[in-house]
Structure 1
Amino acid sequence: MFDPVAYINEPRWRSMSLGLERIEELLAKLGNPQDTLRFVHVAGTNGKGSTCSFVSSILEESGYKVGLFTSPYIERFEERIRINGENISLQRLSEVTLKVKDAAEAMASHPTEFELMTAVAFTYFAEEKCDIVVAEVGLGGRLDSTNVIRTVEVCVFAPISYDHCALLGSTLYQIAGEKAGILKTGIPAVSAPQEHEAQRRLNEEADRCATSIRYVDAASIVGDTSDFSYGGFSHLSVQLQGSFQRANAAVALEACRVLVQRGWSIDEQAMRSGLSRASWAGRFEFLRRSPDVLIDGAHNIHAVRALSSELTSRYDRGSVVFCIGVMADKDYAEMLKLLVPLAKAFVCYRPDNPRALSESDLADAVQIAVGIHPVEVVAASTPRSAVEHALEFSEGSLPICFCGSLYGIASIKKAWHHFENAR
Structure 2
Amino acid sequence: MNYREALDYIHGTKKFGSKLGLDNVRELLRLLGNPHNDLKFIHVAGTNGKGSTSSFIANILIEGGYKVGLFTSPYLEIFNERMKINNIDISDESLAKITCKVKEKVEEMLKKGMNHPTEFEIVTAIAMQYYKEENVDFVVLEVGLGGRYDSTNVIEDSLASVITTISMDHTDILGDTIGKIAYEKAGIIKNNGLVISYPQEKEAQEVIADVAEKNNARVTIVPTERLEIIETTEFGSRFNFGYKDIRMTNLEIQLIGAHQTYNAVTALTTILALKEEEIISITEEAIKKGLKDTKWSGRLEVLNRKPTFLIDGAHNIQGIQALKKTLKEIFNYDKLILGVAILADKDVDHMIEELTPIADKIVVTEANIFRAMKAEELATKIRKYNESITIESNIEKAVQKTFDMASENDIIVFSGSLYLIGDVRTIVNNMK
Query: Shorter-chain TM-score category?
Result: over 0.9
1:316 is displaced (CA, Å) by 7.0
Count how many residue pairs are aligned between Structure 1 and Structure 2: 416
Q: Which position in structure 1 is the counterpart of 2:33?
A: 31
Q: Which position in structure 1 is the counterpart of 2:315?
A: 299
1:220 is displaced (CA, Å) by 2.2
**Given the two structures, how large is their TM-score scaled by the length of structure 2?**
0.93
Q: Hey, what's the Cα distance between the residues in 2 that align with 1:343 and 1:409?
A: 18
CA contact (8 A) 1:329 1:355 kept: yes
| 1:204-230 Cα deviation digits (max 9, x unpaired) | 111111123212233322123432001
Q: Which position in structure 2 is the counterpart of 1:78?
A: 80
SS in 2 for 1:235: strand
Among candidates 96, 100, 103, match of residue 101 of structure 1 = 103
Kindly report which structure 2 residues correspond to 1:207-286, keeping only aligned pairs within 5 A, or say none: 207-223=213-229, 224=231, 225-231=236-242, 232-263=247-278, 264-286=280-302
CA contact (8 A) 1:318 1:344 kept: no
Kindly report which structure 2 residues correspond to 1:4-403, keeping only aligned pairs within 5 A, or say none: 4-107=6-109, 108-223=114-229, 224=231, 225-231=236-242, 232-263=247-278, 264-315=280-331, 319-370=335-386, 375-403=387-415
- Which shifted more, 62-71 or 212-221? 212-221
SS in 1 for 2:384: helix
| 1:327-364 Cα deviation digits (max 9, x unpaired) | 11001110011113321011111111111111111111
Q: Hey, what's the Cα distance between the residues in 2 that align with 1:183 and 1:417?
A: 40
Q: Hey, what's the Cα distance between the residues in 2 that align with 1:259 and 1:316?
A: 40
CA contact (8 A) 1:203 1:212 kept: no
Q: Hey, what's the Cα distance between the residues in 2 that align with 1:154 and 1:411?
A: 34
SS in 2 for 1:130: coil
Query: Structure 1 316/228 Cα, relative in aligned 2: closer, same or farther at 3 Å?
Result: closer
SS in 2 for 1:368: coil
- Which shifted more, 329-338 or 287-296? 287-296
Name structure 1 gaps, 5 residues minimum: none
Q: Hey, what's the Cα distance between the residues in 1 that align with 2:385 and 2:170?
A: 22
Percent identical residues: 41
Query: Structure 1 86/408 Cα, relative in aligned 2: closer, same or farther at 3 Å?
Result: same
1:48 is displaced (CA, Å) by 0.3
CA contact (8 A) 1:312 1:342 kept: no
1:149 is displaced (CA, Å) by 0.6
Q: In the alignment, residue 346 of structure 1 is paired with which amino acid?
A: I
Q: Hey, what's the Cα distance between the residues in 1 that align with 2:170 and 2:348?
A: 13
Name structure 2 gaps, 5 residues minimum: none
- Which shifted more, 95-104 or 396-405? 396-405
SS in 2 for 1:244: helix
1:315 is displaced (CA, Å) by 4.8
Query: Structure 1 364/139 Cα, relative in aligned 2: closer, same or farther at 3 Å?
Result: same
1:381 is displaced (CA, Å) by 2.6
Q: Hey, what's the Cα distance between the residues in 2 that align with 1:274 and 1:296?
A: 22
SS in 1 for 2:303: strand
Q: Hey, what's the Cα distance between the residues in 2 that align with 1:19 and 1:203?
A: 24
| 1:154-205 Cα deviation digits (max 9, x unpaired) | 1101111111111100000000000000001111111222122211111111
CA contact (8 A) 1:319 1:343 kept: yes
Query: Structure 1 92/203 Cα, relative in aligned 2: closer, same or farther at 3 Å?
Result: same
| 1:264-312 Cα deviation digits (max 9, x unpaired) | 1122111111101111100000012343210000001111111111111
Q: Hey, what's the Cα distance between the residues in 2 that align with 1:71 and 1:284?
A: 17
CA RMSD, 1 decimal: 1.5
